[in-house]
Amino acid sequence: SVAKRAVAKVAQHDKVPRPVGSVPPPPPCPGRIRHFKI
């Protein structure tokens, strides 16, 4: 029988660190503001 192993919650600092300098891609929308936002 397959038993699901309880996996300890990954502590924040244990997360795989993002390579230094990499920036998450901007969300596709909404786009850039060309003049000003009212």
Within a 13 Å sphere around the CA of 8, how many CA atoms are in the beta-carbon half?
5
Structure tokens at 11: 């502590």
Residue entry with tokens 């795989």: 16
**Among residues 7 and 33, whose Cβ is nearest to another protein?**
33
Report in angstroms how near the CB of residue 16 gets to another protein at its nearest: 24
**Among residues 15 and 34, whose Cβ is nearest to another protein?**
34
Binding site for another protein (CB under 8 A): 26, 28-38
Report in angstroms how near the CB of residue 25 gets to another protein at its nearest: 9
Measured between its terminal Cα atoms, the distance across the chain in Å is 61
